[in-house]
Amino acid sequence: MAWHPSSRNIYRTLLLAYPAEFREEYGTEMDRMVSERMTGEPEAGLCLTLLADVLRNAPREHLNILSRDLRHSFRLFAKVPGFTATVLLALALGIGAAVTIFSLIDTVLIRSLPFSDAERLVYLWTPLPRYHSLPRELGPSFADVLAWRAASKSFVSITALDQRTMTVNIDGDPVLVPGAIVLGNFFETMRAVPLLGRAIDVDDDHPGKDQVAVISYAFWSSRFSRDLRVLGKELQLGGRSYRIIGVMSPEFVYPHANDFPLASGGLKRTDLWIPAGLSARQEANRMMTCDAAIGRRAIVLAL
> Helices (DSSP H) in 109-249: which residue ranges?
142-151, 186-190, 217-224
Q: How far apart are CA 295 and CA 292, in angstroms?
A: 10
| Structure confidence at residue 275 as a pLDDT band (50, 70, 90) | very high
Give pLDDT, residue 7. 63
Question: Mean pLDDT over all residues of the chain?
Answer: 83
What pLDDT sits at residue 182? 96
Selected residue with higher pLDDT from 303 and 214 = 214
Least confident of 2-11, 158-167, 175-184, 201-210: 2-11
Q: Are strands 292-297 and 155-170 parallel, antiparallel or unpaired?
A: antiparallel
Supply φ then ψ for residue 242, to 5 degrees.
-115, 135
pTM of the model: 0.63
For the chain, how many residues are written? 303
pLDDT of residue 6: 61
pLDDT digits (tens, 9 = 90+) for 215-269: 999 999 999 999 999 999 999 998 899 999 999 999 899 888 667 666 555 678 8
The two beta strands, 240-247 and 155-170, are unpaired
Alpha carbon 241 to its chain centroid, in Å, reads 30
Contact between residue 194 and residue 249 where contact means Cβ atoms under 8 Å apart: yes
Q: How far apart are the first and last CA of the chain?
A: 82
More confidently predicted of 52 and 215? 215
Least confident of 30-34, 55-59, 72-76, 159-163: 30-34
Question: What digits encode the pLDDT tens for the residues 65-82?
Answer: 888 888 888 888 788 888
* Band (132; pLDDT cuts 50, 70, 90): low
Tell me the per-residue pLDDT of 87-129, one tens digit each, with 9 for 90 and over.
888 989 999 888 888 766 665 555 556 677 788 899 888 776 6
Confidence category of residue 142, pLDDT binned at 50, 70, 90? very high
